[in-house]
Amino acid sequence: MSNLLPTIGLEVHAQVKSRSKIFCRCAVEFSNKPNINVCPVCMGFPGAMPSLNSEVVKQAVRAGLALNCEINIVSGFARKNYYYPDLPKGYQITQFKKPIAERGYIILSNKKRIRIRRLHIEEDTGKMIHDQDEDTLIDFNRAGVPLIEIVTEPDFESAEEAVDYMTRIREILRYTGVSDANMERGELRGEPNISVRKTSDSPLGTKTEIKNLNSLKAIEKGINFEIDRQSKLVAEGFEVASETMLYNDKKQEVYPMRKKESASEYRYFIEPDLPDLVLKEDFVSSMKGTLGELPEVRRERLIKQYSVSRDESWILTSEKTLADFFERSVANTGAGKRIVNFFIREIPALLNEKNVDAEKLLFTPEDLNSLLREIEREAVNLNSAQTILKRMAQTGESSEKIIRDLNLRQTNDEEKVKQLISETLAENQKEVERYRKGEEKLFGVLVGFCMKKAKGSVSPASINKHLKEMLK
Ligand code: ZN
Ligand code: MN
């Protein structure tokens, strides 16, 4: 069976980086102790009054600007009413009619433009924990944690595009510092809505929504499962029901959770305890100056400035911390091909192997910088540099100390090189004779012998140069 054409939209929730919650002064922290960051406001006690955290407004405006949105000078808050145990107030404070930002876009890595319909501020709910001793427990530390919700138009045509979008959003939120956007911690969650139809001319099919996917893999698997399921239904002549679905990570399958609510079922009304949010024009324009260099722009600059390839610039900018580490490591060197290539070959692999962020390495970019300078002026060869780097990552020792301890500095001192070569030739007279009788391919073998004896202390170039002369 071949699948029908999918149409996909995405709602993304991102946790705004902030020390306190959105409407009270409770701390926001990733902690194992449940229910310690709570107060009458975020617990919804009668008479408790919310007061808006200005940091959240600032970050929402910055996110809106980074996502090419128009910022609404006047926006407002509303109550979204529904009952659920993780929602102590019985409603969520969110923005409904007028969000803080709308009509933006993001460019995917395949250059496709995805339209962003709106970006609004809201509070998070508590967290239900189902899998402990068969009881359901609730942790309210997360209730009232600030979120931005970013809603796209239904512009995706595949799970891959949706995954790419999530990756781009995560990148932009991290580059701008709006959110740490750590999906494992639930700081970035995606909710795709999916429908299928026979051809691009047919009207859109009935859509379903998959709740709270918090990994890229879940987004990919969940969407693909749902496209298959809907295609099968339609092929067999059934109708797709308008439902909210749950994704099961172990089975990688999607199940119906409940009939989908329409907006009217939430009985939205204006939040009476909060005034309209009114921004000053110059506040908005001052926020533009705080965005820093966005990933797309940085990729283009790295290509120009360091003559790296497009693929390499994607690798380097995959995390802001890596791109920063790179630029600090090659600073004040000529950033020549040798060292740039060395960095690109070694560092991402090292981070992968240790499963850490560049900031968490045992050595600093300045430490690496001194090693790169040695490579650049051919004082250590690339093999030795690899050894040195490995040791730096293991012990945190300076490259200088390691070079000294392991005696890895190359010499181009003519006397020493010649000395080494003549010793090697004396030890390998058979090969020397054969070479002199015309077996020219033995030259490489002799270079190898010299290199082995030199143990990295002499550059191959200078061995090559002197060996030729000495064999005459
Ligand atoms: Zn609180
Ligand atoms: Mn929401």
| Domains of the chain (ranges, CATH numbers) | 5-287 (no CATH), 295-406 (no CATH), 414-471 (1.10.10)
CA of 33 to the centre of ligand 2 (A): 25
Starting from the CA of residue 82, give the closest ligand.
2
CA of 149 to the centre of ligand 1 (A): 21
CA of 36 to the centre of ligand 1 (A): 10
CA of 38 to the centre of ligand 1 (A): 4
CA of 40 to the centre of ligand 1 (A): 6
CA of 305 to the centre of ligand 1 (A): 48
Starting from the CA of residue 150, give the closest ligand.
2
Q: What is the DSSP letter of 265?
A: G
Structure tokens at 200: 């691009």
pLDDT tens string for the chain (472 positions)? 578 999 999 999 999 999 999 999 999 998 779 999 999 999 999 999 999 999 999 999 999 999 999 999 999 999 999 999 999 999 999 999 999 999 999 999 999 999 999 999 999 999 988 876 778 899 999 999 999 999 999 999 999 999 999 999 999 999 999 999 999 999 999 999 999 999 889 999 999 999 999 999 999 999 999 999 999 999 999 999 999 999 998 888 998 888 877 777 899 999 999 999 999 999 999 999 999 999 999 999 999 999 999 999 999 999 999 999 999 999 988 888 889 999 999 999 999 999 999 999 999 999 999 999 999 888 888 889 999 999 999 999 999 999 999 888 887 778 888 888 999 999 999 999 999 898 988 899 999 998 888 877 787 778 888 998 888 8
Q: How far apart are CA 192 and CA 194, in angstroms?
A: 6
CA of 118 to the centre of ligand 2 (A): 12
The torsion angle over the Cα atoms of residues 436, 437, 442 and 448, rounded to 10 degrees, is -30
Tell me which H or E stretch contains 132. Answer: strand 127-132
Starting from the CA of residue 189, give the closest ligand.
2
Starting from the CA of residue 120, give the closest ligand.
2
Amino acid in position 355: N
CA of 150 to the centre of ligand 2 (A): 9
Q: How far apart are CA 136 and CA 152, in angstroms?
A: 33
CA of 82 to the centre of ligand 2 (A): 13
Starting from the CA of residue 149, give the closest ligand.
2
CA of 27 to the centre of ligand 1 (A): 8
Q: What are phi and psi of 449, to 5 degrees?
A: -60, -45
Question: Residue 52 in contact with residue 23, Cβ under 8 Å?
Answer: yes
| 122 half-sphere exposure, CB direction, 13 A CA radius | 21
Q: How far apart are CA 412 and CA 457, in angstroms?
A: 9
CA of 169 to the centre of ligand 1 (A): 28
Q: How far apart are CA 188 and CA 146, in angstroms?
A: 12
Q: What are phi and psi of 465, to 5 degrees?
A: -60, -50
CA of 24 to the centre of ligand 1 (A): 5
Question: Residue 446 in contact with residue 422, Cβ under 8 Å?
Answer: no
**pTM score of the predicted model:** 0.85
CA of 96 to the centre of ligand 1 (A): 23
